[in-house]
Structure 1
Amino acid sequence: MKLIIYILLIGIPALSYCQNISVETDTLDLSKNGRLTELAFWENHFYLLFETKRRNTSANFKSMKVYDLAGNFVENVFLPKEAISMPYCDLRVNNKRLYLKQEHSLSEKTFLLEKYVANFNSIKDTIINIYEDSSFIIYPNCNGEWGASTYFKSKKDNKVYEFSSSCNFNFQKVENGYLMNNGNEILIIEDPTNLYESKLNFDRSYLDKKNQGVKTFFKSEFDIYTTFKKDDKLMAIYGDSSCTYVGELNDSKLKSSYNFDKPYRFSYWFKDNNRNLQILRMFTYKSKNELGYLDGYKTLGFLLIDNGKIRIYHTK
């Protein structure tokens, strides 16, 4: 009996360590639907927006379909004519609802998914925040090739603060501020009131202003693709052309916890900032040109992080 107990005691820590980070994989056959342009995870289902070319016109056609976690088709989503014709848009979560939002356009439009039926309907409100806590309401301001900025609206006095950013809404709320990825470093805004004061006008005035109140939280020799929380620990997915890791960030050190079976590159695709949930686009490319654009770019699939659990979906 003593021998059995001894074996169990030394086995439990090893099992716990191995189960700390696990990555499941699956494959989605989306080849007949067109080009996947936007993606969201809502009410335990994927909402996928596709785009296809049309005959005798330069305009493209948009369609949306719902899949479950196992990759099974569930249903089609109704999109009104105005949504189908939008050139640029993104899927956004706010106040436990899913929105389809037109981006960097002079005439922005917003569509809201019904609660019980898979229909998007047009609404008048075009200002949709991406996160709200007890102190601030955060709004993105994406303008495509002209860059982007992020607004922090104070709940205390309604003052607005802004900083120049990318169209990446992937930030992580932590105890001492807000973290954001920036290439091989993680930035932190400890106090948004230290950003430059602005107005909630969603223009491009940030092009003429210099950021302030943004500090470097951590810098690495690897590209840092995202951060997330797992069991109250701050984790990161990072790597380079030869390897990709999941690691724990603690005391200004990044310690690897998991090594992917092959090198992957990731970029932001969707995040529910009110939950510990996000989706990264998984891609590859042949080379980077002088202007920084990726030649031979190809989407391989996407990675879902849901409350610290990681699942890769390869698409074909």
Structure 2
Amino acid sequence: MNQIFAILILSLTLFACSGQQNSSVTNFESGFSLTKDTISISVNGRMTHALEYKDKYYVLFEQRLMKYGGYGKRWLYIFSNNQLEKVIDCPEEMKTVYLDFYVQNDSIIMKPYMDKQSYYLDNTNLKWNKIDKTDDLIWEDSDFYVYSLDFGEWGGKTWFKDKKTDSQYVLESTTPLINKIDNTYYLTNSFQVLKIDNPKELTKCDSDVTYENIEKTGKNYSWYSQSKGYVVIHEDENVDYFDFSYHPNIVSSFVLNNELLHIYETDTVSYLARIADNRIQPFEKILDDVKFFNWHYSYRSKNKTGKNELLKFNTKNDQAFGLTTIKGNKIYVTYLINKTELKPRIIGKEKSNEIFENRLKAILSDFSKLTLTEIESKEKEWKTFDITPNHKIGIGDSWNPNNYEIDINKSYLVVEDSIISNSIMYYATKETDLVRAVTINWEKTQTSRIEFGNEKSASEVFLTKFNDLILILTNELGEPKSVNEEKKNQSFVWTTQNNINVEVKLSRQDNYNNIRMVVYERK
């Protein structure tokens, strides 16, 4: 409830600032202006990548998976004039962590880091088509192609390739953002800015360390260039690259009136800044409580053509995030307010038991005719949280003695409190839409922080929950057919008149607690 309230307040605040246009403008003494807009969306996922292309926003979303592993689905949302224009499914092959999303040769491209196979978007038919190979170009002007590769723990390299001679010049710099003022190049990373007056004064490449050869052979850590041909105009010497805690950093750099400026972020505030005497000097606060981010191995879209990159940010609220771009002295911020809840709410013991009893009646009233469509409708009615995996999950012969084909699943989560939650899985046959088996698991609630010292209390909670379930099942089904009351592994089994088995087992071992219930048709 607090989360929804916070989103509502943010939406109303932005709207109130803007009147009917849903837009607010702030003019700063520095000569910059900040325009804020809001777009309301509904998507079961988080933003990962974004591009501005031909006056439209192209935003990638990835489904959040709460359980079962695998990769989430991806969708491309296209926005025009702050309105959602189109939603396009992404290829199944793009279910990967390391993905780049960029414009090249007037095409929008998705490129996985570990695979040569990439896709481009056909803007006419709005469909994805395969392309065999794309390169690692991050900048181009009339004199040079600039390529860069990220080798993870081995750092990275950036090459300047002379368009006239094909000679290549290299330095150790990992996927920087590049800006150019007159004939001078500026390479920006989070904690460092380099100045290159003449790329031909960098280390000239032998054939074995050209971009093409390193990209082809993968010998990314076998050679390091000489440190020459550039000047470090800023470097944060307090940064420990093996310390992954947050540190103030440069988010982006851009050129205005032949001056290199920066967006600089602390843990609470984002500023416009310039560099003087090797130090970042903020001169205008622009946003509070946002965290800019870039996705893993996503670097080709930063500033390839000299146009300022589209920046992505999160807020403290998972359902409020946004986009920022700078055009001249105008800063544009678009908040995306997601109406779809991305995390399940705690509903309490009473509501959790009510859902269980409703499920029990729905499942056992006529199990042999229970359809997946029917139970999906019920789960929506009960407002449980959909956590269906993107891959098929089967079951063993003991829970499927009739050897039904199991080729579709649906799963839902109920968070009772901070200690215990339950997830239900329906195993079904797609052709008939019939549910063939059901499992419910009561497990420890997953939290984002590590908790110690509550194993004993959790064990007691699970024992109490188990006893509650046995009472509910006995009231519904009568006395169990068999009982095993071993202290740490209790189990009860019922068989209904229409030959349906209901099995419930409690497992308590050290800091592991689990209750599992299985419903299936006997042979």
Query: TM-score band (shorter)?
Result: 0.7 to 0.9
Counterpart residue number, 1:64? 76
Partner in structure 1 of residue 224 of structure 2:
209
8 Å CA contact retained: 2:179, 2:306: no
Task: Give the direction of change, closer, same or farther, for the CA distance of 1:87–1:265 in structure 2 (3 Å limit).
Answer: closer
1:195/1:307 CA distance change after superposition, 3 Å: farther
State the AA in 2 paired with 1:205. N
Deviation at 1:31, TM superposition (A): 5.2
Aligned to 1:277: 308
One-letter code of the match for 1:67? F
Cα 1:68–1:249, aligned 2, differ >3 Å: closer, same or farther?
farther
On the 8 A contact 2:324/2:332 being kept in 1, the answer is yes
SS in 2 for 1:60: coil
Structure 2, gaps ≥5 residues long: 1-26, 239-247, 296-300, 339-523
For 2:111, the aligned partner's letter is: K
**How is 1:295-310 mapped onto 2 (pairs within 5 angstroms)?**
300-310=321-331
Distance of aligned partners of 1:261 and 1:283 in 2 relative to their CA distance in 1, 3 Å threshold: closer
- Residue 136 of structure 1 corresponds to 144
Structure 1 residue 78 displacement after superposition? 5.1
CA distance in 2, matches of 1:173, 1:309: 20
Asked if the contact 2:186–2:193 (Cα under 8 Å) also holds between the matched residues in 1, the reply is: yes
Would the aligned equivalents of 1:163 and 1:196 in 2 still touch at CA under 8 Å? no
Once superposed, what is the RMSD of the aligned Cα atoms? 3.5
Q: Deviations for 1:252-275, whole angstroms, at most 9, x for unmatched residues?
A: 786655222525443456424214
- Native 8 Å contact 2:271 2:282 kept in 1: yes
Q: How does 1:115-130 map to 2 (within 5 A)?
A: 115-130=123-138
Aligned residues of 1:149 and 1:164 also touching (Cα < 8 A): yes
Structure 1 segments unaligned to the other structure (5+ residues): 1-15, 286-296
Residues 253-262 or 22-31, more deviating: 253-262
Paired amino acid for 1:50: F
Matches of 2:49 and 2:173, distance apart in 1: 20
CA distance in 1, matches of 2:182, 2:219: 31
Q: Distance in 1 between matches of 2:222 and 2:329?
A: 36
| 1:205-242 CA distance string (max 9 Å, x none) | 24641452332124579633221123443322224335
**1:292 alignment partner in structure 2:** none
Q: Is residue 102 of structure 2 the alignment partner of residue 92 of structure 1?
A: yes
Count of aligned pairs = 286
Question: Counterparts of 1:298 and 1:170 in 2: how far apart (Å)?
Answer: 29
- Residue number in structure 1 paired with 2:158: 150
**Structure 1, residues 2-38: CA drift from partner, whole Å, max 9, x if none?**
xxxxxxxxxxxxxx97472111223344552412221
Q: 1:56 to 1:80 in 2, by over 3 A?
A: same
Which of 216-225 and 173-182 deviates more? 216-225
* 1:204 Cα deviation after fit: 4.4
Give 1 or 2: higher strand fraction.
1
8 Å CA contact 1:282, 1:302 repeated in 2: yes
Higher relative contact order (CA 8 A, sep 6+): 1
Q: Could you say if the C-alpha distance between residues 130 and 145 of structure 1 is closer, same or farther in structure 2, counting changes exceeding 3 Å?
A: same
**Corresponding position of 1:46:** 57
Q: 1:45 to 1:261 in 2, by over 3 A?
A: closer
The one-character-per-residue Cα deviations of 1:129-169 (angstroms, maximum 9, x if unpaired) are 23211221112323445543222222122122333333x44
CA distance 1:181–1:87, change in 2 (3 Å) = same
More helix by share: 2
- 1:312: which partner in 2? 333
Normalized against structure 1, the TM-score is what? 0.74
SS of aligned partner of 1:165: coil
226, 242, 252: which is aligned to 1:226?
A: 252
SS in 2 for 1:130: strand
Partners of 2:279 and 2:31 in 1: how far apart?
A: 18
Equivalents in 1 of 2:79, 2:222: separation in Å?
40
Displacement after TM superposition at 1:80 (Å): 3.7
